[in-house]
Structure 1
Amino acid sequence: MSSIVDVVVLVAISVLGAALARRLGFVAPLVLLVAGLGLSFVPGFPEAHLEPELVLIGILPPLLYVAALQTSIPAFRRWLRPILLLAVGLVLVTAFAVGTVVHLMLPSVPYAACVALGAIVAPPDAVSATAIARRVGLPRRVVTILEGESLLNDATALVVVRISVGAMSGVAVGFWPILGQVALKAGGGVLIGLVAAIAAAKLHRKIEDPLLDDAVSLLTPFVVVIVAEEARSSSVVAVVIAGLYLGHRIPYLLSPTSRLQMDAVWRLMTFLLEGIVFLLVGLQLREIGGGITTSVGTTVAVTAAVIGTVVVVRFLWMYPATYLVRVIPRIREREERPPIAVPTVIAWAGMRGVVTLAAAQTLPDHGVPPYNRDLFIFVAFAVIVFTLLSQGLTLPWLAVRLGVRQDTTTADALAEAGVQHQAGRAALQALEENADGAPTEVVERLRALIDSRSNNAWERLGNQQQETPSAAYGRLRREMISAERHVFKIARNEGRIPEEVLTRAQRELDLEESQLQRSDD
């Protein structure tokens, strides 16, 4: 779609679809995918063509970047071993397993092309994995592993796709050459990501205008991916490393105003991109289905075989990767043995997404010998639709059925209360050291504020069935703010205050009310 009208229509549909999903209690990507599939059959609806460059350079980098910004480095480092086993090991195994199965079914197709298809359908999607895992309320360990896998597996898959496409000229594709190329390109991505992150951090330290901070943050993932592509390194790894580095240091780099404003900007960007991406994936059905020349029987057989291989290989990998490594004493002592339900849920959370479709579009038109490119693109599309709808819709049920639910609320509240107590003592000490000459009522008001925050933290450990003092405070204060806001609006309408006064007062009230909302959440 190229016209402005078509873009506006896409945005409007994605917003309406997201609103419908929230009302129905579904995950927005699934609703938008179904909407796209349905709209692809509507006569006269504009056709959508998803350019690979648009996805890999224009859409994927900001989504990966914001996901990395929100990822905890300590948690990521703690679970790095299972993350790498999934993001590198499982992707390589899946690529060769699918490639072997497809080559056995289509012996005339070059093995390199079959491995390329395997790499295309191997990586679960970062957007769907994060959205569904958080919506389901899985344990933090599971969410961290799924997020870490989806942040890094695209790099492995895209490198394998490029090597396999290059090998279609007749050069043999081997496991160890591919592993070496993955390591080389990933290493270059790590270096570029670190250098770019350090440069961006220095810029943020010198910038005092929140708008300029937003501009630098928005430009960072695109600059990183362009530099990495020019250097022929992994742009995905570079963007992820830059996001992890900057996300860990944001509390020290940005002013409070910049952090609040940047959070709002990225939330809007992510909301719009995620919606448009899954809507576009669904809209591809008309174009992809119309290009297939292979017989229906062959198409169905190959598609079913690839879907089955993708799902089964993930399960076969998860259990040994979870339990066999615990024969190593160091790992056994450091990590407790999870119940079998945990790897089962992780194995089922293998939803594919837009990267799979974009990578499929990069396949060349001809191979040696020739192969049916449209068939491979359709298979990739079918894997996306099947995994998103079957696994995405049933993952909440499976997690509840197996008892894999978030169980860290009490532990989080206890840890927060303890740290809040320490923070309160530090704040009171700072108050005593700097209170000379300040009015007594101001000092007492600040002491009361610290006591209130400490009490709020401890309240979260108490009885949640009745209204706590902090909840009552929030409810009553919101009613007061609404009354204050109404008076200011009336005064503006009557000409007693200028628009600038209303804007300033409205901002102060909005900030306070948003803080109350965050406390409730």
Structure 2
Amino acid sequence: MEPIHLFELVIGMFVAIIALHYVAHRLGLPPSVALLSGGAMLAFMPGLPAIAVDPELVLVIFLPPLLLDGAWTIAVGRLRRHLIGIASLAIGAVFFTAAVVAVVTHLIFPSLPWAACAALGAIVSPPDAVSARAVLQRVQLPRRLQILLEGESLLNDASGLVLFRFAIAAGVTGAFSAGEAVGNFFLLAIGGALVGLAIGTAWVLLARRLGDEYLIIAATALLSWTSYLLGEFLHVSGVIATVTTGLVASWHQHTVLSAATRMRGSAFWTVIVFLMEAAVFILIGLSLRGVVERGGGFETVAATLGWPILMVLFALTVARFFWVFGSDFAIWLGNRLGLKRYTPVGARGATVLSWAGVRGVVTLALALSVPEGFPGRDFILVTSFAVILGTVLIQGTTLGRVIAWARLVEPSSEKAPLTLSQAEAAMAQAQLITIQSRAYDTAGNLIHPQLLDRYQRRAVSIVDYAARTEHYTPILHAHFDVVLEAVATGRRELIRLHRAGEIDDETLHELERDLDLEELSAISAKA
């Protein structure tokens, strides 16, 4: 394909992303479903060339920034608190599901080597970080279930990648050692964590010294690829390296980044992540054509592989249910025996956890990277794509209904954080103490009376609001509606003055920025 045609295709893909997101919003569908379906339809459009997706390139381009973004926004405190549960899903559930799928595949095709069966299990076993984010952004879950699913999606790719590489090596060389695989997995994980810690620490030191917000944002944008590529270069887990880097940077970003850097960087990164997440699902859909052609066409795939594919999809779904419910039962049994360190999530919570295993880009990339001539390669490709389609289209669209049916509530054992108004009241009290200490000179004379009065009234009003939120909410909404109207009026007048030639562009931009900040502040306060 000519470079100009490739560029045109990329622009067309971004246009399709906007259109499909709009359609999903209007129809009330998860965007991932619309994007995946739209990409699949585009793949078979007459005149459109077949899209050959380079699996290694897809992983390197899309996975690191999306992993870093997930680690950057995850609640680190809750991640530490629920690390055992996350490890159970990210390691235990992946290994168990891979084993179940391998056994079922071997029962269906006894002539298929165990290495090929294990490779398929490794490919389809880890739920995908991108797909999980796309689903979780549209639902409301108790904090414990939310962190379990977010943490699992960040870490389980490492488990799947390690299993896959060992299965491929076993298929090529004919030698496999389970003990060596487990040992290497932990070595790769520990090595990746050390690389991520080093890169994250280096970023913190660099951010403190750069000074220029644009340089800091650019350095942060490169952070994910630096961690991932260095980890892979050192033959450790690039996934763990990227996640660890994101956790370190997230923990320190509140102290090393200025307000302007944080606002501008957040806006830039939000758009980048949005386009990347959407492009992943479009690429998955576009790859359908190549997968179907390798399988001999729709009719051949449906006739010869339809039943085995359904069995594999059923097996991995049941395996996840079995692991989640089995783990929850083990916790319940431990509580009955007096070991009350953990609290079971309950049958309804376990159902939601089990149903949330949506597959995506990692499954596709691993399937496409199976070497030519590997036993059962066509079956692995078609089955992997069918698993992605099945989990996104079925589980992704119905997870909201499953959560609504479950009627999940925050358990009493989960410590409730301060509400927004309570945290604001504590912050206002701390600010008032600082103002009181600086409002007087060394002789005891009041030198900042208006500032002191302002912060005293603010602290009193915030504390009063925290105590009577329901009473003040409609009043404040009306108040900020007026503020927003005033901002709009000021903006119209500012534009009139500029169009009439009475102010220059510099004055327009400076005052417009002030109005923008005032508008954002009012919208945030109203929300």
Question: Alpha-carbon deviations, 1:139-159, whole Å to 9, x = none?
Answer: 121111001000000000001
2:452 is equivalent to residue 443 of structure 1: yes
More off after superposition, 275-284 vs 449-458: 449-458
Q: Quote how far apart the aligned CAs of 1:515 are.
A: 2.2
Aligned to 1:335: 342
Identify which of 490, 501, 514 aligns with 1:508: 514
Q: Quote how far apart the aligned CAs of 1:432 are.
A: 0.8
Compared CA separation, residues 176 and 470, structure 1 to 2 (3 A): farther
More off after superposition, 83-92 vs 507-516: 507-516
| In structure 1, distance between residues paired with 2:27 and 2:45 | 24
2:13 is equivalent to residue 10 of structure 1: yes
Counting only pairs closer than 5 Å after superposition, residues 300-379 of structure 1 correspond to structure 2 as 300-328=306-334, 332-367=339-374, 371-379=375-383
Identify which of 94, 97, 108 aligns with 1:94: 97
| In structure 1, distance between residues paired with 2:237 and 2:393 | 30
Compared CA separation, residues 275 and 365, structure 1 to 2 (3 A): same
Q: Quote how far apart the aligned CAs of 1:506 are.
A: 0.8
Return the letter of the residue paired with 1:478: L
TM, length-normalised to structure 2: 0.92
More off after superposition, 293-302 vs 357-366: 293-302
| In structure 2, distance between residues paired with 1:438 and 1:22 | 55
Q: Quote how far apart the aligned CAs of 1:407 are.
A: 8.8
Is contact 1:65–1:242 with CA below 8 Å preserved after alignment? yes
Is contact 1:69–1:244 with CA below 8 Å preserved after alignment? yes
Is contact 1:39–1:283 with CA below 8 Å preserved after alignment? yes
Aligned to 1:492: 498
Q: 2:346 is paired with a residue of what secondary structure?
A: coil
The alignment's C-alpha RMSD in Å is: 2.2
Aligned to 2:231: 228
Aligned to 2:222: 219
Is contact 1:413–1:458 with CA below 8 Å preserved after alignment? no
Q: Quote how far apart the aligned CAs of 1:439 are.
A: 4.2
More off after superposition, 107-116 vs 237-246: 107-116
Aligned to 2:396: 392
Compared CA separation, residues 168 and 331, structure 1 to 2 (3 A): farther
Aligned to 1:426: 430
Q: Quote how far apart the aligned CAs of 1:250 are.
A: 1.1
Question: Alpha-carbon deviations, 1:344-393, whole Å to 9, x = none?
Answer: 011001110111000111111123xxx23122111100000000010011
Unpaired runs of 5+ residues, structure 2, are 441-445
Compared CA separation, residues 144 and 515, structure 1 to 2 (3 A): same
Is contact 2:331–2:343 with CA below 8 Å preserved after alignment? no
Counting only pairs closer than 5 Å after superposition, residues 38-437 of structure 1 correspond to structure 2 as 38-293=41-296, 296-328=302-334, 332-367=339-374, 371-404=375-408, 414-436=418-440
More off after superposition, 127-136 vs 112-121: 127-136
Q: 1:198 is paired with a residue of what secondary structure?
A: helix
Compared CA separation, residues 455 and 48, structure 1 to 2 (3 A): farther
TM, length-normalised to structure 1: 0.93
Q: 2:340 is paired with a residue of what secondary structure?
A: helix
| In structure 1, distance between residues paired with 2:416 and 2:521 | 19
- How many residue pairs align between the two structures? 514
| In structure 1, distance between residues paired with 2:464 and 2:225 | 44
Is contact 2:292–2:301 with CA below 8 Å preserved after alignment? no
Q: Quote how far apart the aligned CAs of 1:78 are.
A: 1.0
Unpaired runs of 5+ residues, structure 1, are none
| In structure 2, distance between residues paired with 1:446 and 1:23 | 45
Compared CA separation, residues 459 and 27, structure 1 to 2 (3 A): farther
